[in-house]
Amino acid sequence: MKPVPTRGDLAGIGVGLAVAFLVPFFAGVGVDAMAHTGPVFLLIGLGLGILSVVVFAYVRFKQFI
For the entire predicted model, the pTM comes to 0.83
Q: Provide the 10 A C-beta neighbour count for residue 16.
A: 16
The confidence score (pLDDT) of residue 26 equals: 95
Does 50 fall in a domain? Answer: yes
The pLDDT of 47-65, averaged and rounded, is 92
Inter-CA distances, 12 with 22, 37, 63, Å = 15, 35, 14
pLDDT digits 0-9 by tens, 6-30: 999 899 999 999 999 999 999 999 9
The confidence score (pLDDT) of residue 65 equals: 81
- Residues 9/14/19/25 CA torsion (nearest 10 deg): 150
In angstroms, the CA 24 to CA 53 distance is: 11
Please tell me the total count of domains within the chain. 1
Does 13 fall in a domain? Answer: no
User: The domain containing residue 64 runs over which residues?
Assistant: 21-65
Contact (Cβ atoms closer than 8 angstroms) between residue 52 and residue 20: yes
The mean predicted confidence, pLDDT, of the chain is: 92
Comparison of pLDDT for 1 and 37, the residue scoring more: 37
The confidence score (pLDDT) of residue 3 equals: 86
